[in-house]
Amino acid sequence: MSDVNALEEKIKTHYAALIQSTCIALNELTVEVSPEFIRPFCLALRNESEFDFKLLIDVCGVDYLHYGVAEWETESSTATGFERGREAILSNTNKNKKRFAVVYHLLSLTNNQRIRIRVYLDENNPTVDSLIEIFPSANWYEREAFDLYGIMFKGHPDLRRLLTDYGFVGHPFRKDFPLSGKVEVRYDAKLGRVIYQPVTIEPRILEPKVIRSDNRYKVGD
Amino acid sequence: MEKLPELRNYTFNFGPQHPAAHGVLRLILEVDGETVMRVDPHIGLLHRATEKLAESKPYNHSIGYMDRFDYVSMMCNEHAYILAIEKLVNVQAPIRAQYIRVMFDEITRILNHLLWLGSHALDIGAMTVFLYCFREREELLDCYEAVSGSRMHATYFRPGGVYRDLPEKMPKYKPSRWHNEKDIAEWNANREGSLLDFISSFTERFPKLINEYETLLTDNRIWKQRTVDIGIISAERAVAMGLTGPMLRGSGVEWDLRKKQPYEIYNQLDFDIPVGVNGDCYDRYLVRVEEMRQSNSIIKQCVEWLQKNSGPVMIENHKIAPPPRVEMKKSMEALIHHFKLMTEGYCLPEGEAYAAIEHPKGEFGIYLVSDGANKPYRVKVRAAGFPHLAALDELIRGHMIADVVAVLSSLDIVLGEIDR
């Protein structure tokens, strides 16, 4: 793969007005763009021969609601000691950041390069322009992100649900949507048909999420 | 004046229960007479929210779920996930483990292409090929079982290497009421040595078997009538629609991650990338058949290397990889490592990584977001079949109803990875 640093420089010089920031980690370039510029930026990346990002690899939604929040404190000991049962995180803890993001992965076949573009979206209005006219393959990816995260893609001609059931309510991959779902189906012998009812599964955590920032995992380098 | 009857397109369902739908896929076909005007695939009938499920489990618990995405190329899915983890934690598997992984990736590619060829031929009406393909699949699944204990859902690749080294003995058939000693001895003839000997004998025989399939199909008049010039997609359109793998190569684009962005030890192996010319079903068939030959040669090279070289198959870092059983019996440190790994797992540094491999169906990628915890914050699976199925409408428009089956199966879709 060719040099990501050179790519970063080129993007910085050409499109300083369109992008918010760039970052290289693990030899992967991530560019942050504000929602209103995603369309011109991607159009330029596709059309300019020195970038030539013609293949849209992936579009996905991310919900940053519980980012960096652990279910079990490990840094300080608690007065109550360790307990077996842990409750799921309920509070919205990620207040100062925007909640949603749409992440695009592009690939250039001629230059053999990849780029990741991230657009942060506000919780109250998670809307971004659709890329369907630039990359026809965005069609289903955007429908999926809409289905699972409730992100709206402006200009998408057919923004229907894709993966969930007909008549499904809610956006299941949001962090505040319970893992066990909200409704379950069963056959009701009296009514003689299948009915929906609220889930009877008690939410529980088998393995608490812990965040360790100590150096024990520092390997390599 | 006599009023002409109003003519309207007819809309009907194909699936979700249809033998040629390759799983639970519902297509809503709009036809004008026999001509397909529009296809609307309804997917999600196999949606299991695996990506969300993975967010609630330590990293290693989800390796088994990866097998269940594309359930005919199990180890390749694992591979992408493992590579994403290894990228974030910055470890590399020992060289022997890398060879084993590549060997099993290619075994998996043959497994996948055999199933594809068999069912593609069956969909179009050639029954015999299906039986031939499954005969060979059985032997490769035996390799899976010998190495991991499971025929399909192996969970064999682990961050930092593979679960265990290749077995020295190949499991054998036993005589029973239905099969006498003589038959069994014949079946066990190539199972006397180690797993590597078994795979080696398979690679000797396999090219001839591919010739058998080709005799049945490549110049077959009916086969050509059903596939040539059906479902054509130009190179430019294929890129725009996000096609990868044999779908893209069938249209003449020379793109293979094993060559272009080599991972593991692919850059030390000698193999070719077949490409098509016309981008129709027939070219995609030819590309996949040639890929099987190339995979066979890669396996041969790996077997040769593995027979000559030994070494560890797992890294020694016990913060990531569990310590060996024997060590746990005498070392307190090892026991603690094991306990921590099996309960809490390991934490990955905060960050994000995208790892992609050349899956039998195309580019299979894992986008992993970590917030520094012992569970992934977000796992996005970039399934190869997903954009392929999305392109179905464009590929089929204007063809006959009977071609729907031919085009659909030439996409090589598995709903397990499309619905996730």
pLDDT digits 0-9 by tens, A129-139 = 999 999 999 99
B41 strand-pairing partners? B27
pLDDT of residue A49: 83
pLDDT above 90 as % of chain A: 37
pLDDT of residue A221: 42
Nearest-CA distance from B361 to chain A in Å?
14
pLDDT of residue B367: 94
Instruction: Judge residue B221's burial from the number of C-beta atoms within 10 Å of its C-beta, 0-12 exposed, 13-18 middle, 19 or more buried.
Output: exposed
Specify the CATH class of A3-64+99-168 in words: alpha beta
Per-domain residue ranges for chain A? 3-64+99-168
Asked if pLDDT for residue A14 goes beyond 70, the answer is yes
CA closest to B315 among chain A residues: A219
Asked if pLDDT for residue A174 goes beyond 80, the answer is yes
Rounded CA gap, B130 and B117, in Å? Answer: 7
pLDDT of residue A147: 92
Place of tokens 């019996």: B329
pLDDT of residue A179: 87
Q: Give the one of A114, A209, A213 whose C-beta lies nearest to B374's C-beta.
A: A209
Asked if pLDDT for residue A85 goes beyond 80, the answer is no
Contacts of B283 (CB under 8 A, 6+ apart): B250, B251, B276, B277
Size of interface A-B (CB pairs under 8 A): 135
Question: Both ends of chain B: CA-CA distance in Å?
Answer: 57
pTM listed for this prediction: 0.90
pLDDT tens profile A104-128: 999 999 888 999 999 999 888 899 9
Residue ranges, CATH 1.10.645.10, chain B: 14-90+92-173+189-314+349-419
| DSSP 8-state symbol, B178 | S
Q: How high is the mean pLDDT of chain B? A: 90
Rounded CA gap, A158 and A166, in Å? Answer: 15
User: Is A57–B372 a contact, with Cβ atoms under 8 angstroms apart?
Assistant: no
User: Is A26–B87 a contact, with Cβ atoms under 8 angstroms apart?
Assistant: yes
- Asked if B148 and B48 touch (Cβ cutoff 8 Å), the reply is no
Asked if pLDDT for residue A42 goes beyond 70, the answer is yes
Rounded CA gap, B251 and B239, in Å? Answer: 10
Contacts of A7 (CB under 8 A, 6+ apart): A29, A51, A113, A115
pLDDT of residue A15: 84
pLDDT tens profile B235-280: 999 999 999 999 999 999 999 999 889 988 999 999 999 999 998 9
pLDDT of residue A96: 61
Specify the CATH class of B14-90+92-173+189-314+349-419 in words: mainly alpha
Asked if pLDDT for residue A87 goes beyond 50, the answer is yes
User: Is A217–B349 a contact, with Cβ atoms under 8 angstroms apart?
Assistant: yes
Q: Give the one of B56, B363, B380 whose C-beta lies nearest to A60's C-beta.
A: B380
Nearest-CA distance from A209 to chain B in Å?
6
Neighbour tally for B171: CB within 10 Å: 13
Is B146 at the interface with chain A, CB within 8 A?
A: no
Signed CA dihedral, B151, B156, B157, B161: sign only? negative
Q: Give the one of A109, A179, A217 whose C-beta lies nearest to B253's C-beta.
A: A109
Is B30 at the interface with chain A, CB within 8 A?
A: no
Which mean pLDDT values do the consecutive 10-residue runs of chain B (420 residues) have?
Answer: 75 82 86 89 90 91 90 91 91 92 93 92 88 90 90 90 90 88 88 90 92 90 90 91 92 90 90 91 92 93 91 87 89 90 87 92 92 90 92 90 90 88
**Residue A150 Ramachandran class (φ > 0 left, ψ -120 to 50 alpha, else beta):** left
Q: Give the one of B343, B375, B390 whose C-beta lies nearest to A209's C-beta.
A: B375
B28 strand-pairing partners? B13, B40
Question: Both ends of chain A: CA-CA distance in Å?
Answer: 21
User: Is B255–A109 a contact, with Cβ atoms under 8 angstroms apart?
Assistant: yes
Asked if pLDDT for residue A220 goes beyond 50, the answer is no
Contacts of A213 (CB under 8 A, 6+ apart): A75, B372
Nearest-CA distance from B229 to chain A in Å?
23
pLDDT of residue A77: 57
Decide the pairing of beta strands A55-63 and B351-359: unpaired
Is B419 at the interface with chain A, CB within 8 A?
A: yes
Mean pLDDT along residues A136-144: 92
Contacts of B232 (CB under 8 A, 6+ apart): B278, B279, B280, B395
Mean pLDDT along residues A44-58: 89
Q: Of B195, B188, B187, whose CA–CA distance to B140 is shortest?
A: B195
> What would the two tokens of residue B151 be?
């025929």
Instruction: Judge residue B316's burial from the number of C-beta atoms within 10 Å of its C-beta, 0-12 exposed, 13-18 middle, 19 or more buried.
Output: exposed
> What would the two tokens of residue B415 be?
């709903």
User: Cis ω on the peptide bond leading into residue B19 (within 30° of 0)?
Assistant: no
Rounded CA gap, B165 and A189, in Å? Answer: 54
pLDDT of residue A76: 62
Place of tokens 């077949």: B274
- Asked if B153 and B68 touch (Cβ cutoff 8 Å), the reply is yes
